[in-house]
Amino acid sequence: MSSPVAPGQRQSHKHASAPPGARRKPGNTESGPSPHRSTFRPDIEGLRAVAVLAVLAFHAQIPGAQGGFVGVDVFFVISGYLITGLLVREAITTGRIRLGDFFSRRARRLLPSAAVVLVAVAAVGAWLTVPLRRTDLEHDVVAAALSFANWRFVSQQTDYLAAGHDQSPLLHFWSLAVEEQFYFFWAPLLAVAALCVRRAVRRGRAVRATVALVVAPLAVGSFVLSLYWTQGSASLAYLGTPSRVWQFGAGALLALLPWHLMRGPRPLRLLCGWAGAVAIGWCVVSYDGSTPYPGIAALVPTLGTAAVILAAIPGRGERSVQGAYGVGRLLALRAPRAVGRLSYTLYLWHWPVLVLAEAGLGALGWPAKTALTLAAVLPALATMYWVERPLRRSRTVSAHARRGLSVGVTAIVLPVALALVVGSATLQLLGPDRPVGPRGLPAGAAAGPHLLVRQPGVPLADSPVTPGPAQARKDFPPDGECQVAPAVTRSPACLFGAVNSQDRIVLLGDSHAGQWFSPLLGLAAQRGWALQELVKQGCPLPQITVRSPQLGRAYRECDTWRADTLERLRQQPKPRLIVISSLNRYTDDQKLLAGGWEKTLRPLRELGAPIVYIEDTPVPGTDVPACVSGHLKAPAACAFDRRLAQQPDPLARRIASGALPGVQSIGVNGVLCPGAGPTCPAVLDQVLLYRDDAHLTNAAAVVLTSRLERLLTEAGALPAASAAGGTDGGAAGQGPAAGRPGPDGWTRLLRDDFDGPAGSRPSPANWLHDIGTCYPGCPAPQWGTGEIETMTDSTDNVRLDGRGALEIVPTRKNGKWSSGRIETRRADFAAPPGGTLRIEASIALPDVTGPKAAGYWPAFWTLGAPLRDGYTGWPGIGELDVMESVNGRDTVFGTMHCGVLKGGPCQEPAGLSSAPQPCPGCRTAFHSYAVEIDRSPGAEEVRWYLDGRVYHRVAAKRMDPGTWKRAVDHGLFLILNVAVGGELPRQDGASPGPATEPGHPMRIDHVTVSARAGEGRD
């Protein structure tokens, strides 16, 4: 359909053209400026043929017709000329313009044919297109039927982050929308002007002069706006109605000025007509997708069309000036006129035929597209003879304006209704389209060939693709407006995480850098650092000049932004780490690219901070979510060509050669595109990797967090985190670093000391918030325990205190309780075979007792990872309550849940619980609570500790091996929460009431998870 552009961006805005305007038949009076005679213009009917053939050749990609999109300008000028002439003649003849009659004629002439095409596209598209593409198509049908298709496509094509979708088979309806919006605006405007002079003595002159005074400034203003928008947003300029009004105005001025009173030398008219035709032809062969358009360039086809029309306007006393050698004589021949009569329906049909054929057959060359365009003549003829002409000529329909309007309304309602029915069914098939939250995402592997953590010998669960295709489309990094749009030249502050910290990571580059926002924010927050994002859409980080498809010209804003960003970094305090990334295919000129990188890296290296380049990820080059939506059961069908997706990375090679001291390179492509086969996967370990044709989903980026941390740590660019806000050797460096056994044999898997600014949230790299009153799908309302609070992620309920502790605070507002409940992102904490897993936290219970504490239920506990697969399977998946306390009592206890819902070896629903352990100081000071899962052969058990003292044990021999295995032989995730009310406080003799006092937090100093291998193991 057009030549390819930079990955991640939409294709050129010139992929469609306008439909023909109103057409003429002999005997009608719509096409001449003079009220004194019938002036049917056969040359204009032929001129439409030139316009539509130019558009068709452009869409078929016939060599030499790359500028055929100028046919839109020809149509707009013709429409302005004909419609204005029609309305002015009516105003002069009758003293008024009957808007009902005018809109009735337009409705029955244009809308039924359009409705036939829309219904056909909606139906055929539902059969040929994949579900996600189908929902887009049905939205397009609604927009086209309601005549605002141009604004829908403006919103899509000016949005860089919405790029990468396939072409719409209704993209060409933008120009029909522009024409219809012109009619809605133009006819009432001229009607008001006519009313103002209806009593003038010389009505014809008064009407023409008044309307001309209105049209001229509108046309000039529209042209100026077109120039401005062409510089700032090519899609808005090309598709927007205000920037096209001046072309209708050019035709209108031809109809308004008294050309019919002028004789004019015939040789001059002959020259004028041919010069206009040559200008149009020159544009067709000379313009292309790189021409800034409309802008100044649109003057040539616009004035050329005006010249052709003007050359054949009869002068005083003349009936016709179609000389033997005039261009009008050629245009008035039978063949051009026949094509001109068919131009409207042919225009409507040809583009859907091309796009839907490619949807079913794949990309086609220009010969095949030409053949398909010729084939579109058949439905175009059928629509003209069986729909358009019968309704235009029907005496029943044309007898009253309201009948024509009723036909128009019906032509709008039918495709809209069909689109809503098909679209609703497709949305139900696809499921929710809300962006997937980080809660519930599987844990990513830090190393190895797999994307996700896998238990040895345990196959990956057969689960739905995450995120779903509809969710993937919206799965952007949660960085607000920090990936600045093409027209913006300066990034905002864009500080995240511990914004008051003197330490920060800088993320720098284009949208391929922006896709690493979430994992880098997690890594920064885990260390108590800030993250600064300096990212601009479609802007190469190396200093090379490129063209922006969104702006339709050289990307000057990119050069300005890059220079400003480098200067800001020079003036700011030195960051702890600079992470850079960029699409590596802005140019094929390797020498130019190398020079551009050198110009950018030189000032960055002078800052003295470590610089890490994340190699560009694979670029599928196809709409991945759309493909996956059609292959949910077999997403391997959406694999894409490795050779095209992974081009050589010249910067990575230069870094590896040592040519850039101070710059290191890391990459994750070994896991995103594993092996050495010819293709790369679109879905890996049931994670949908791409949100469009070039960018990772945010879910995939989050899953890669652990791998990025390992790579950055191994490169020496990032200190190993022993806690959120701490690094080995610092205040939080108690015990071994993550991933390395200490002298006592324990390997730390997690340590969070909750360092960070007061009022901030806990590290998103470690923790997820549970929201509401149940897990997704609500398998167990009120969290299955009868609690009365609603869990939130508000810092009113979950926050850091700024002194190294986390607070979970139950609050009450308007009689309703809310609180906080957080889970570890990881769900793979498990005892090694034959070894031990230890989970520990230092906690101070809510400092409230007596009636004021009625209903308080603080807890620190674990659940089995299998629960996250649908949130079902309790209690068989296992639950270990490390610490619970209710109603403000000076006692705590631990419990194991397993087996079946009632009875069984774990005596459910009570579970295998310890006796209450006295702890009078647990409300006023931090105490240590721990549980160990010991898988030592022959001595398997779970042990509970209070301040290092074992007070409860559950041995494997208390139950059958199957129950024990299902309870402990898998990964776990940790939970911290303060519930309000529920079965356990009620059984203890108290429930929340008016005397219960909100606002008393459970405070957590740190959480640690460690593992120790069994005897004889590393």
The model's pLDDT over 964-980, given as tens digits with 9 standing for 90+, comes to: 999 998 889 999 999 99
DSSP type of residue 490: S
Output the furthest CA–CA distance in the chain (Å, rounded): 116
Cβ-based burial of 514 (10 A; exposed 0-12, middle 13-18, buried ≥19): buried
Tokens encoding 155? 């919103």
Q: Are 353 and 360 in contact (CB under 8 A)?
A: no
DSSP type of residue 384: I
Choice between 161 and 58, residue whose per-residue pLDDT is larger: 58
> In sequence order, what are the residues at sequence separation of 6 or more whose Cβ sits closer than 8 angstroms to the Cβ of residue 697?
467, 472, 475, 687, 688, 689, 690, 691
pLDDT over 50 at 29, yes or no: no
Return the closest-CA partner of residue 74 out of 277, 336, 233, 239.
277
Give the CA dihedral 271, 272, 274, 278, nearest 10 degrees: 120
In angstroms, the CA 701 to CA 678 distance is 24
Q: Are 109 and 405 in contact (CB under 8 A)?
A: no
The model's pLDDT over 260-288, given as tens digits with 9 standing for 90+, comes to: 556 566 778 889 889 999 999 999 999 98
Angle between helical axes of 71-94 and 245-256 (0-180°, round to 10):
50
In angstroms, the CA 893 to CA 922 distance is 12
Which has the minimum average pLDDT: 70-74, 218-222, 498-502? 498-502
Which pLDDT score, from 0 to 100, does residue 7 have?
Answer: 27
pLDDT over 50 at 5, yes or no: no
Phi (first) and psi of residue 234, to 5 degrees = -60, -40
Which pLDDT score, from 0 to 100, does residue 1005 have?
Answer: 94
> Can you tell me which residue has the tokens 């914004």?
499
Choice between 197 and 607, residue whose per-residue pLDDT is larger: 607
Tokens encoding 931? 């549980």
> In sequence order, what are the residues at sequence separation of 6 or more whose Cβ sits closer than 8 angstroms to the Cβ of residue 904?
898, 963
pLDDT over 90 at 179, yes or no: yes
Q: Are 732 and 763 in contact (CB under 8 A)?
A: no
Once rounded to an integer, what is the mean pLDDT over residues 318-339? 80
> Can you tell me which residue has the tokens 């702006």?
551
Percentage of the chain surpassing pLDDT 70?
88
Percentage of the chain surpassing pLDDT 90?
57
In angstroms, the CA 526 to CA 547 distance is 39
pLDDT over 90 at 843, yes or no: yes
In angstroms, the CA 818 to CA 791 distance is 6
pLDDT over 70 at 742, yes or no: no
pLDDT over 90 at 49, yes or no: yes
SS3 811: strand
Question: For strand 891-897 and strand 767-769, is the pairing parallel, antiparallel, or unpaired?
Answer: unpaired
> Can you tell me which residue has the tokens 């459970």?
1002
Which pLDDT score, from 0 to 100, does residue 37 have?
Answer: 42
In angstroms, the CA 175 to CA 76 distance is 9
β-sheet bridge partners, residue 884: 859, 893
Whether the link from the prior residue into 762 is cis, omega within 30° of 0, is no
Return the closest-CA partner of residue 887 out of 923, 922, 851.
851
In angstroms, the CA 103 to CA 99 distance is 6
pLDDT over 90 at 1015, yes or no: no
The model's pLDDT over 474-514, given as tens digits with 9 standing for 90+, comes to: 899 988 889 998 889 999 989 998 888 888 999 999 999 99
Beta strands in 385-529 (DSSP E): 483-484, 495-497, 504-509
Q: Are 628 and 465 in contact (CB under 8 A)?
A: yes
Long-range contacts of 318-322 (CB under 8 A, 24+ apart): 318/263, 319/37, 321/266, 321/269, 322/43
Q: C-alpha angle 140/144/147, rounded to 5°?
A: 140
Q: Are 798 and 822 in contact (CB under 8 A)?
A: yes
Tokens encoding 807? 């607070």
> Can you tell me which residue has the tokens 């899962």?
933
Residue 518 banded pLDDT, cuts 50, 70, 90:
very high
SS3 119: helix
The model's pLDDT over 643-684, given as tens digits with 9 standing for 90+, comes to: 999 988 889 888 887 788 888 999 999 999 998 889 999 999
DSSP type of residue 831: P
In angstroms, the CA 742 to CA 749 distance is 12
Write out the H or E segment, with its range, that includes residue 211.
helix 203-232
Once rounded to an integer, what is the mean pLDDT over residues 186-208? 81
316: Cα within 13 Å, side-chain hemisphere = 6
* Average pLDDT of every residue of the chain: 86
> Which amino acid is it at 779?
P
Q: Are 858 and 1000 in contact (CB under 8 A)?
A: no
The model's pLDDT over 885-918, given as tens digits with 9 standing for 90+, comes to: 999 999 999 999 999 999 999 999 999 999 999 9
Return the closest-CA partner of residue 318 out of 639, 32, 650.
32
pLDDT over 60 at 728, yes or no: no
Burial 227-253 (b: 16+ CB within 10 A, else e): bebbbbbbbbbbbbbbbbbbbbbbbbb
> In sequence order, what are the residues at sequence separation of 6 or more whose Cβ sits closer than 8 angstroms to the Cβ of residue 808?
797, 798, 819, 820, 821, 822, 858, 976, 977, 978, 1001, 1002, 1004
Q: C-alpha angle 478/480/482, rounded to 5°?
A: 110
In angstroms, the CA 414 to CA 397 distance is 18
Q: Are 683 and 465 in contact (CB under 8 A)?
A: yes
Tokens encoding 656? 């590896």
DSSP type of residue 245: H
Residue 315 banded pLDDT, cuts 50, 70, 90:
low
Residue 833 banded pLDDT, cuts 50, 70, 90:
confident
Once rounded to an integer, what is the mean pLDDT over residues 100-121? 92
Output Rg (C-alpha) for the chain, integer angstroms.
35
Other beta carbons less than 10 A from residue 30's beta carbon: 19
Long-range contacts of 909-912 (CB under 8 A, 24+ apart): 909/875, 911/875, 911/879, 911/881, 912/954, 912/958
Q: C-alpha angle 649/710/507, rounded to 5°?
A: 60
Which pLDDT score, from 0 to 100, does residue 737 have?
Answer: 40
Out of 262-271, 338-347, 452-461, 711-720, give the one with best mean pLDDT. 338-347
pLDDT over 50 at 24, yes or no: no
